[in-house]
Each structure stands twice: as C-alpha cells, then as structure tokens.
C-alpha cells in the first residue's frame, strides 16, 4: 500500500468510527463523544475547544454546559444596549463556589471558559500554593462598549466577551492583588504566575502585567479569535 492510499484508508476508518459514534452504535463516554454536551466538571481534553465552539453557536447547548458547573447565572436576552455593541448568547454571572465583587455580563462561551478555569486551573493553583481555595474574585468588569486603547479595533469587552480580574481573596481572608503582588513575595508571585498559566489554557487571550503597563493591575481574559498568552 502506498503512503497516500494508507492515509486515505485511515481517513475512511476514522470517518466510519465518527459516524458510528454519532449514530450511537458504539458506546463512547460523553467526554470522548464530540456530539455529547460539554460537561464543565470533566477534565478538559482535545474535544473541549470543539465543544466550546459548538456551544457558542447554539445557546441551548451552551446553557446546558453552564448548568453542569456550580455557577449561578441568569440568561440575558439578546439586545443592543448601545449602538454597535450587540449582546448575544450571554448570561449574567452572579457567583458560585467563588463569589464575585459584582455580578457581570458574559457571553456564554466566556462563562463556560471561566467555569473550566475556576474548576481545573484557579482552585488547584490555590490549593497547591496556599492549601485552601479562593473564596472571592475582585474584578473590574466585563462589558464596556469601547475600542482597544485609543485604536480603531473593537475590544472584546464591547461584546461582553472579556473579563478583567484584579485580585483574589482566599478562604482565610488573605487578599492577593495583581497590582501589589505580581512583584510581591515569592509565594504570591508563584500563585499569580500559576493563575496566568492556567488562564492561558482556558481563555483564548490572557494578558497581564508582562504584556504592557495598561495591564499592571489586572488579568484581561477573553474568548476572541486571537490566541495570546502574555
């Protein structure tokens, strides 16, 4: 068999396998079934980005995914709060295992990415560094109908597709802020870098103090097209 024919055979076998999964002929755990709804408690795998993408196209699917997390949220009707800044497939997040300094508007996809980040990235980092979970997040908000800096490109904040996180409060009351602790004690530095690393796994764009002076006091996390981790 030539290489070309072999690849063709592989492709054929793979599509047969996918068809069999889609029709329910073979039993595949939901985590490994591309068509099964996303369960945000499952350990993320190669299919997670695909499922997140699919969920953003279908509000019902996305809300079903959010319902698997411990987030308390309310579905927000599509609207045009300000000219040029439509809100679509979005929710208002009120809290969950972690409380927020204020409730915030988020595209369903951003909310799902946040839930993955909290469960699989942020809390494990807090446990590893401090031996306790994060109880509260301080943030600067999500929705703002504006461009990036003074430029002409629309910010992900203009569609509630970005969240700016400024700090964390642990269960015992210890407060860690990006502004003070990014260059703080060794432990705080380690925690904030772990948090950034985790954010880069779940959000498309993660920007912090290493990116530029405008981000000296927060992590900007968004689900836009650009993949940046700085």
Should residue 42 be labelled a site residue for Zn ion when binding is judged by CB under 5 A? no
By beta-carbon proximity to Zn ion, the closer residue of 196 and 220 is 220
CA angle 163, 92, 159 (to 5 degrees): 50
Residue count, binding to Zn ion (CB under 5 A): 3
Q: Which residue is nearest to Zn ion (CB)?
A: 220
Please state whether beta strands 99-100 and 134-141 pair in parallel, antiparallel, or not at all (unpaired).
Answer: parallel
- CB of 51 or CB of 220, closer to Zn ion: 220
Helix (H) or strand (E) holding 162: strand 162-170
Of the pair 164, 188, the CB lying nearest Zn ion is at 164
Residue closer to Zn ion (CB basis): 44 or 167 = 167
E strand spans, the chain: 72-76, 79-82, 85-87, 90-95, 99-100, 104-107, 134-141, 162-170, 175-177, 205-207, 219-222, 228-229
The reply to whether 165 sits near Zn ion by the rule CB under 5 A is no
Least distance to Zn ion, CB of residue 215, Å: 8
- The neighbour count for residue 116, using CB atoms within 10 Å, is 25
User: Among residues 42 and 164, whose Cβ is nearest to Zn ion?
Assistant: 164
Mapped onto helix, strand or coil, the DSSP state of residue 145 is coil
Q: In this chain, which stretch among 73-81, 119-127, 198-206, 215-223 interacts with Zn ion, using CB under 5 A? A: 215-223
Please choose, out of 11-19, 85-93, 124-132, 212-220, the segment that lies near Zn ion by the rule CB under 5 A. Answer: 212-220
Task: Please tell me the distance from the alpha carbon of residue 105 to that of residue 30, in angstroms, as a whole number.
Answer: 29
Q: Structure tokens of 88? A: 């679509």
- Nearer residue to Zn ion within complex by CB, 15 or 212: 212
Half-sphere exposure of 99 (CA within 13 A, CB side): 7
Tokens 């980040």, residue located: 117
Question: Should residue 220 be labelled a site residue for Zn ion when binding is judged by CB under 5 A?
Answer: yes
**Positions in 96-125 near Zn ion (CB under 5 A):** none
Among 164, 167, 192, 223, binds Zn ion (CB under 5 A): 164
Instruction: Kindly state the smallest distance separating residue 33's Cβ from Zn ion, in Å.
Output: 35
Q: Locate tokens 């679509």: which residue?
A: 88
Which stretches of the chain bind Zn ion, using CB under 5 A?
Answer: 162, 164, 220
């Amino acid at each position: 068999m030539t290489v070309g024919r072999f690849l063709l055979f592989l492709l054929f076998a793979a599509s047969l396998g996918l068809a069999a999964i889609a029709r329910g002929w073979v039993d595949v755990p939901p985590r490994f079934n591309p068509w099964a709804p996303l369960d945000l408690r499952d350990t993320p795998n190669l299919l997670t980005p695909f499922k997140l993408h699919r969920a953003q196209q279908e509000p019902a699917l996305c809300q079903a995914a959010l319902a698997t997390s411990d987030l308390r949220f309310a579905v927000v009707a599509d609207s045009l709060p300000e000219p040029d800044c439509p809100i679509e497939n979005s929710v208002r997040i009120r809290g969950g295992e972690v409380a927020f300094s204020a409730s915030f508007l988020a595209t369903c996809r951003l909310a799902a990415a946040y839930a993955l980040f909290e469960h699989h990235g942020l809390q494990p980092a807090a446990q590893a560094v401090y031996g306790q979970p994060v109880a509260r997040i301080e943030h600067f908000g999500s929705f703002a109908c504006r461009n990036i800096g003074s430029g002409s490109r629309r910010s992900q904040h203009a569609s509630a597709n970005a969240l700016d996180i400024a700090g964390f409060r642990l269960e015992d009351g210890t407060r860690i802020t990006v502004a003070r602790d990014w260059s703080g004690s060794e432990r705080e530095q380690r925690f904030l870098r772990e948090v950034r690393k985790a954010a880069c796994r779940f959000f498309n764009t993660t920007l912090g103090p290493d990116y530029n002076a405008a981000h000296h006091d927060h992590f900007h996390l968004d689900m836009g097209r650009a993949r940046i981790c700085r």
